[in-house]
Amino acid sequence: MHHDVIIIGAGPAGLCLAKALCDLDLKVALVERQARAAIAEPAFDGREIALTHASIRQLRDLGIWQHLPDDAASPLRAARVMEGDCLHDMRIDAALAGKSELGMLVPNQRIREAAWKAVGDMPGLDFFDGARVHTVRTTDDHACVTLGDGLRLEAPLLVAADSRFSETRRAMGIGADQYDFGKSMLVCRMHHEQPHQGVAWEWFGHGQTLALLPLQEHQASVVVTLPDSAARRLAALDVDAFAHEMEQRYGHRLGHMRLESSRHVYPLVGVYARRFVARRFALAGDAAVGMHPVTAHGFNLGLDSVARLTDMARHAVRCGGDLGCAEGLARYERRHRRGTRPLYLATRAIVELYTNDRAPARVVRETVLRAGRHLTPFRRALARTLADDAPATRPPLQRLRDGLALLRP
């Protein structure tokens, strides 16, 4: 079967890319291991995505945002960073970025559900669900994917969007730098007595990291980062014991707490592919860059990869060129690496500093927070970075000018 593009992986990034390419009147093959029902009605997985203004605009343009339920998006009005029992916390308000909110929090499964509703019935899409990839290979002329049932797919371009542990990436001979943080993340939703007022918390304690992602006024997604054995012990507690321990871990600052969802534990592993492209092949989403979820912003980088690949395809269609040509792929590689590498490294460095329980590191953290409270330009820069209203396709010189503008008082 011949297509214009083959995408392996129907996660959020793969679905969004399929919709973007179908909007260009391209014929897309989407290959997914799960059954169609699991894609159309994905189960709750505990993960909340902090969408920037640029990402929201992109989802609107793709016709995906319109499929979200009315109550799916929760405004993120401010972020608060705390260190242990230190009184010098730092608050980053949306007003510093000239916005009413830094972004919106949307459940991962709602994004997947909305993306499927937008793309599932498009005439340009062939969806192969419950499919195992047997082999992948590329030549100078085309990419070829053979499925487990013997079906053979061909296209000028193959894209892997099959998670940070991408089997397709490995099959194509592309390695990845993986950083195991040695911790696991427990996530769930809880009702709490005290209102959160739309403020997200990032609380770096001794031996644990706590996060609070505000949903409804008395409901939040709570995130506890611990050694894996401790996280799984916490997840196995009965409902009442779990709520009691969470109240203690959050210092009773939220009052009485009650579990309102299933609990999920995920290992924390950051991934950065050593190459984003090969002959007639590209990586997208977490297969290219798998971020630490400290800011819940990883999917925004996935949408950046969708925007950059779509821009590459649009240029090829407009010029009557080759969708998988080496020049276009090299351009995508350069742009996506420039757009992701600094944030990936900075996030890793921040996590390493703020999860180090040794005394010198604690002193540095407290000093940074104390100084940050009084440096308005610094907090304004953070606010604009979190809100991120700039499209991924903005030219590098314009992005540089925007970056310099952050330092103005």
Dist CA 386 CA 53 (whole Å): 9
Residue 347 confidence (pLDDT): 81
Residue with tokens 């989403």, as numbered in its chain: 285
Please tell me the distance from the alpha carbon of residue 283 to that of residue 272, in angstroms, as a whole number: 11
Which pLDDT tens digit goes with each residue over 292-304?
877 667 899 999 9
User: What whole-number distance in Å separates Cα of residue 121 and Cα of residue 127?
Assistant: 10
Q: How many CA atoms lie within 13 A of 203 on its CB side?
A: 20
Does pLDDT of 215 surpass 50? yes
State the pLDDT at residue 400: 40
Q: What is the mean pLDDT of residues 159-174?
A: 97
Could you tell me the pLDDT band of residue 1, with boundaries at 50, 70 and 90?
confident
Count CA within 13 A, CB hemisphere, residue 158. Answer: 27
Span 135-157, average pLDDT:
97
- Please tell me the predicted confidence (pLDDT) of residue 404: 38
Length of the chain: 409
- The encoded tokens of residue 176 equal 């990845």
Percent of the chain with pLDDT over 90: 71
Please tell me the distance from the alpha carbon of residue 92 to that of residue 4, in angstroms, as a whole number. Answer: 45
Mean pLDDT of 117-133: 97
Q: What is the pLDDT of residue 354?
A: 62
Look at 121-125, 155-159, 175-179, 348-352 and tell me which has the smallest mean pLDDT: 348-352
Confidence band (pLDDT; 50, 70, 90) for 201? very high
Type of residue numbered 404: L
**279-293 confidence digits (pLDDT tens):** 999 999 999 999 987
